[in-house]
Amino acid sequence: QLQLQESGPGLVKPSETLALTCTVSGGSISSGTYCWGWIRQPPGKGLEWIGSVWYTGITYYNPSLESRVTFSVDTSKNQFSLKLTSVTAADTAVYYCARRYCSNDVCYFFDYWGQGSLVTVSS
Amino acid sequence: EIVLTQSPATLSLSPGERATLSCRASQSIFIYLAWYQQKPGQAPRLLIYDASNRATGIPARFSGSGSGTDFTLTISSLEPEDFAVYYCQQRSKWPLTFGGGTKVEIK
């Protein structure tokens, strides 16, 4: 059974960098059949797609965050990571990592999700 | 970006009743729409993909329909565990976008 688990600091100071890692177990991150994504949800609000990354390192970012976000992949550890710079209180959210199934160069929807990691931006 | 508008914001129904949720896209997204269910403190769960296909393990009381700009999620007879928030999401164009959600609450 595939599992995804987010990890990282729960508290980040304003203007600093938020860093989270998603560890995948029960499956290989290196499979070309999947791409991996980050989605966030401010408390009491809706979902926002942050971006997606393939094991090859190819990335797509949400234009609203593109100037501040970077993804990376570590296939040896079966992990992928998110860095978000210059954070403000507006970046306070539950951050989810998730998987999309891909076939014939088409990627579908998020079928597996991590449990989510609450990150609070506060001094 | 493609904006998804969900209605109503809140739906108050009783167990056993039929729920009809709407998602409207700002431009055609063909059939490239999914529906998710989210319960408090949990991650979203994929229910329906590509407008009308149930994801693995999803009960038959959940069904999806629509194409182009107008989509519907129907729950034929609400079970107690179905009271939750439902989101739609499109994969037609980058950036991927979600609707604002519909809360199905117990009347």
pLDDT of residue A56: 85
| Three-state secondary-structure class, residue B58 | coil
- For chain A, what percent of residues have pLDDT higher than 70? 100
Cβ of residue B87 closer than 8 Å to a chain A Cβ: yes
Window 57-86 of B: residues touching A by CB (8 A cutoff) are: none
pLDDT of residue A32: 80
Q: Above 80 in pLDDT, residue A24?
A: yes
CA distance A4 to A118: 15
Give the single-character DSSP code of B60: T
Q: Which amino acid is at B30?
A: F
CB within 8 Å: A47 and B94: no
What is the band of A104 on the pLDDT scale with cuts at 50, 70, 90? confident
What is the band of A102 on the pLDDT scale with cuts at 50, 70, 90? confident
Give the residue from B62, B87, B75, B102 showing the smallest Cα distance to B15: B75
Could you tell me if A94 and A118 are in contact, meaning their C-beta atoms sit under 8 angstroms apart?
yes
pLDDT of residue A106: 82
pLDDT of residue B12: 98
pLDDT of residue B33: 98
CB within 8 Å: B95 and A60: yes
Measure CB to CB from residue A49 to each of B46, B95, B100 and give the nearest one. B95
Could you tell me if A92 and A14 are in contact, meaning their C-beta atoms sit under 8 angstroms apart?
no
**Mean pLDDT across chain A, nearest whole number?**
95
DSSP β-ladder status, A34-41 and B10-13? unpaired
Virtual CA dihedral for A95, A96, A100, A106, nearest 10 degrees?
Answer: -20
CA distance B107 to B105: 6
Measure CB to CB from residue A47 to each of B44, B46, B56 and give the nearest one. B44
Measure CB to CB from residue A113 to each of B34, B44, B49 and give the nearest one. B44
Long-range (24+ apart) CB contacts under 8 A made by B58-64 are B62/B35, B64/B33, B64/B35
